[in-house]
């Protein structure tokens, strides 16, 4: 077990399920002080009771709201006095043709995936600079390649990565690391709560969740990348191949991506 995270103070957004929850559990096991936020008070309370750990701080916050993000960071500093790592993990997906989607679905994708990252990073930055720590964005291959029926999701992840890359260069000589990570398909509930054309949770995932990378395995990969201060990480072979081929054969990749998503159960492309 690595001792890197022992006594480190780590903030994670959207950590009541999936990758965020797995990250929090592993970090607590490794001796970190962990602050998490989420919109659902019941889920936060359940996780707090389940973890039953003195180094866990749970704050109710909607990261699409600037004031909530400020409150989250302020509470961390008040409780722990510093901040070493910010993991911008909270996110929402969507699945609908652009011609059919309610524009609020696009807006909500941007508010959570992009603006939530911007707000939390802004308020955390002075403390991250002080600790020479890391700002992390949990992105997606959709941040490298536009995906059909995910216009809002891809847009928000492209924006997140552009923001983080700009920030990385600004901080190049400040000993702060900024990285973005594309986990690929991970067994979690993000697809179940993805928004449909009307902005309601689709409830049924279009993927066979069996055989996907576990949230725990993904969390370990993320934590290793942070420890090694990597620039970026694409966690699956399929993701790496898609990004590489898109640089050289974009039209071919367009057709393959269309075919892939058209073959999903109940695909909006059909």
Q: Tell me which residues are annotated as active site.
A: 153
CB neighbour class for 101 (10 Å; exposed up to 12, middle 13-18, buried from 19): buried
Contact 39, 60 (CB under 8 A): yes
Residue 82 CA to residue 87 CA, distance in Å, equals: 15
Residue 58 CA to residue 12 CA, distance in Å, equals: 10
31: left (phi > 0), else alpha (psi -120 to 50), else beta? left
Give CA separation, 104 vs 110, 116, 163, 184, in Å: 10, 16, 22, 26
Residues 6+ apart with CB under 8 A from 249: none
Tokens representing 181 are 């990570």
Closest CA to 158 of 96, 113, 189, 191: 113
């Amino acid at each position: 077990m690595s001792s890197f995270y022992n006594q480190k103070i780590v903030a994670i957004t959207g950590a009541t399920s999936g990758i965020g929850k797995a990250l929090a559990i592993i970090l607590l096991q490794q001796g970190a002080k962990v602050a998490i936020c989420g919109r659902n008070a019941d889920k936060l309370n359940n996780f707090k009771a389940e973890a039953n750990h003195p180094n866990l701080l749970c704050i109710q916050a909607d990261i699409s709201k600037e004031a909530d993000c400020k409150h989250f960071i302020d509470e961390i500093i008040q409780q722990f006095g510093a901040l070493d790592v910010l993991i911008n993990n909270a996110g929402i997906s969507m699945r609908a043709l652009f011609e059919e989607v309610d524009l609020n679905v696009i807006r909500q994708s941007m508010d959570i995936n992009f603006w939530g990252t911007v707000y939390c990073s802004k308020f955390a930055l002075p403390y991250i600079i002080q600790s020479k720590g890391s700002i992390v964005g949990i992105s997606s291959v959709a941040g490298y390649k536009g995906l059909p029926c995910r216009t809002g999701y891809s847009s928000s992840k492209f924006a997140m990565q552009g923001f983080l890359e700009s920030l990385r260069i600004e901080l190049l000589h400040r000993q702060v690391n900024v990285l973005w990570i594309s986990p690929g398909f991970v067994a979690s509930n993000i697809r179940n709560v993805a928004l449909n054309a009307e902005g309601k949770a689709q409830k049924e995932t279009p993927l066979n969740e069996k055989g996907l990378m576990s949230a725990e395995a993904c969390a370990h990969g993320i934590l290793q990348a942070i420890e090694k201060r990597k620039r970026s990480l694409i966690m699956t072979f399929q993701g790496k191949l898609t990004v590489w081929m898109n640089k050289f054969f974009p039209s071919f990749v367009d057709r393959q991506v269309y075919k892939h998503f058209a073959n999903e159960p109940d695909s909006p492309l059909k």
